[in-house]
Amino acid sequence: MKFPIPKEVLIREAKEWTNSILVALILTLIIRTFIIQAFKIPSGSMRPTLMEGDKLFVNKYVYRFEAPKPGDIIVFKYPVDPKKDFIKRLVALGGEKVEIRDGKIIVDGKTLDDPKLFGKFFYYNHDPYGAPGETIQVPENNYFVLGDNSGNSTDSRFWGFVPKKNVLGKAVFRWWPLNRFGKIE
């Protein structure tokens, strides 16, 4: 024997489901827009730090409380095509002078040689923003970024500077693949 479900019960259930789905969508939108967002690495420009197919979380609020620092891996809107997101290592801030010499990065006369961040990579010179013997002045409110895989990275050496307003956040945690799971240095 079947018992018909009263119309009031169906309406109440539909409203509860609709409210729950709406709240979930709004929370997802807020979290993704202002707090944290997942990204997938599309190319080998950040090898070996980040590999093609790595999936990571980007902290989108950290730079509201502190300034980006050289060595941070940042996600930003590509200055040439802002519809694309890029990920690179921050090398120099606005007002600083950058030179690539003998595979090393020199900022304001000091070689960046921290073995965890810069010292283990060889950086190649390239025109127009990194020709041999050339020192580049980073404009205020801009950043100079490089891929860790310098020989296979389209970065500031090719297209110039990243405006401060283009920065989306800092890469903080790799969640895939599981054998590389953990905090990003």
Both structure tokens of 71:
């060595």
> To which H or E segment does residue 36 belong?
strand 36-40
Q: Hey, how many other C-beta atoms are within 10 angstroms of the C-beta on 71?
A: 14
Between CA 64 and CA 25 the distance in angstroms is 24
Residues with active-site annotation: 45, 88
| CA 58 vs CA 3, 63, 76, 144, 170: distances in Å | 51, 11, 11, 19, 5
Between CA 76 and CA 58 the distance in angstroms is 11
